[in-house]
């Protein structure tokens, strides 16, 4: 384990921070531990750049987030796999799948957590955890829409209630946010289906009539999905502004 | 409120030291303040991937609305 702390010492450090997050010696120890991830994180970031991506890295999870996670999940500090992380945004699910394959080719021992299949409170993305010199670095790969959704929820957690990120907070916001997450999934999956169908038609040598009919149907379906998405974004915006305003100007 | 301070790549150790100093000074107000060190090629990339620090809820949702509108 990094910085000469044994797993047991690290977990005891986490326990102490959970009880007293202001102890300066423990904060220094935590900082030394976190700082030891910098080289591993830089290596991952470099490899992602070589893949033509534009990663932004966060070599060390914030104290606030670490303590919140220790409290929320009763997890152990030594078990946290997201102390260091990199985030990349990609255009669409097909590109997301390609990037995941490229990352696996670069880091064959990496472990994938596909939160598109198993969303976490509506959060969808693909997380890949790689291990460099015994240290975990989490890569978050998000499509543009997945990223906008996640950013909105992160900011609403700051402005309204930190529990929003974990399925809590105002029930109506949770309901709309989850509906929006599902609508994003449907839209993104339909985009993939359209791409597959276009390739299939090209291979088959479809007639102009068949092409026109298919394009019209796909256009109508996509317009409906887009309309549904827009309505949910509007509803979430109205709710969010009401909640933020009620906190800024309580009765 | 956001306080933003850029560092060059070769100043990583200095940035880490400064982060620790701020952390140590947050006695009692840790629950409402976050000190984060991020690394990116440029500031614009930071704004793209970590909007939460730079935009309001309304701005993020408006940006999402614009993204939906741009779907062909």
CA torsion, points A130, A136, A142, A147, in degrees to nearest 10? -170
B72 chain-A contacts, CB cut-off 8 A: 222
Chain B's closest residue to A60, CA to CA, is B37
A229 chain-B contacts, CB cut-off 8 A: 68, 71
Answer whether A155 touches B (CB < 8 Å). yes
Q: Edge-to-edge strand order for the sheet containing A56-58? A: A56-58, A84-90, A135-143, A126-132, A111-114
B48 chain-A contacts, CB cut-off 8 A: 54, 56, 89
Answer whether A221 touches B (CB < 8 Å). no
C-alpha A30/C-alpha A18 separation (Å) is 12
Helix (H) or strand (E) holding A113: strand A111-114
* pTM across the whole model: 0.92
Chain B's closest residue to A20, CA to CA, is B28
pLDDT of residue A1 exceeding 60, the answer is: no
Contact (Cβ atoms closer than 8 angstroms) between residue B26 and residue B18:
no
Report pLDDT for A74: 74
pLDDT tier, A3 (very low <50, low <70, confident <90, very high otherwise): low
Cβ of A237 within 8 Å of Cβ of B61? The answer is yes
Strands A135-143 and A84-90 come out as parallel
pLDDT of residue A146 exceeding 90, the answer is: yes
B28 chain-A contacts, CB cut-off 8 A: 22
Cβ of B24 within 8 Å of Cβ of A27? The answer is yes
C-alpha A137/C-alpha A188 separation (Å) is 27
Angle, vertex CA A158, rays to CA A175 and CA A32, nearest 5: 125
Cβ of A31 within 8 Å of Cβ of B20? The answer is yes
A49-75: average pLDDT: 89
Report pLDDT for A2: 47
Flag the least confident range among A103-117, A219-233, A236-250, B42-56.
A236-250
Cβ of B34 within 8 Å of Cβ of A65? The answer is yes
Helix (H) or strand (E) holding A225: helix A208-248
Convert the pLDDT of each residue in A85-140 to its tens digit.
999 999 999 999 999 999 999 999 999 999 999 999 999 999 999 999 999 999 99
CA atoms within 13 A on the CB side of B21: 6
Report pLDDT for A173: 96
Distance from CA of A141 to the nearest CA of B (A): 11
Handedness of CA A29, A34, A38, A43 (dihedral sign): positive
A208-221: average pLDDT: 91
**Radius of gyration of chain B, Cα coordinates, nearest whole angstrom:** 16
C-alpha A222/C-alpha A191 separation (Å) is 8
B20-49: average pLDDT: 87
Which residues, 6 or more positions from B54, have their beta carbon under 8 angstroms from its beta carbon?
Answer: B2, B46, B47
User: What is the value of ipTM here, to two decimals?
Assistant: 0.92
Domain regions of chain B by residue span? 1-37, 42-72
Cβ of B61 within 8 Å of Cβ of A60? The answer is no
Report pLDDT for A234: 97
């Amino acid at each position: 384990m990094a910085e000469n702390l044994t797993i047991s010492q690290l977990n005891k450090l986490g326990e102490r921070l959970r009880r007293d997050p202001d102890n300066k010696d423990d904060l220094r120890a935590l900082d030394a531990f976190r700082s030891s991830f910098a080289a591993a994180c830089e290596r991952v970031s470099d490899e992602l750049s070589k893949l033509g991506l534009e990663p932004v890295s966060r070599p060390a999870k914030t104290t606030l987030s670490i303590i919140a996670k220790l409290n929320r999940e009763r997890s152990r500090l030594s078990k946290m796999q997201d102390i260091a992380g990199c985030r990349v945004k990609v255009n669409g699910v097909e590109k997301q799948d390609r990037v995941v394959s490229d990352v696996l080719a670069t880091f064959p021992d990496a472990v994938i957590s596909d939160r598109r299949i198993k969303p976490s409170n509506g959060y969808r993305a693909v997380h890949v955890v790689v291990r460099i010199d015994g240290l975990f670095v989490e890569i978050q790969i998000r499509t543009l829409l997945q990223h906008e959704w996640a950013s909105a929820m992160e900011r609403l957690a700051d402005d309204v209630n930190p529990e929003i990120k974990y399925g809590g907070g105002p029930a109506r916001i949770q309901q709309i946010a989850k509906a929006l997450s599902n609508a994003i999934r449907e839209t993104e999956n339909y985009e993939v289906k359209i791409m597959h169908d276009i390739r299939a038609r090209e291979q088959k040598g479809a007639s102009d009539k068949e092409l026109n009919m298919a394009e019209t149907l796909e256009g109508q379906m996509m317009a409906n999905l887009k309309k549904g998405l827009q309505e949910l974004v509007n509803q979430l915006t109205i709710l969010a502004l009401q909640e933020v305003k009620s906190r800024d100007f309580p009765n | 409120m956001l306080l933003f301070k850029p560092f060059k790549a070769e100043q990583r150790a200095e940035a880490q030291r400064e982060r620790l100093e701020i952390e140590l000074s947050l006695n009692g107000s840790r629950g409402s303040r976050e000190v984060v060190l991020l690394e990116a090629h440029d500031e614009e990339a930071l704004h793209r991937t970590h909007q939460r620090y730079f935009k309001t809820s309304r701005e993020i949702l408006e940006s999402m609305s614009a993204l939906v509108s741009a779907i062909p």
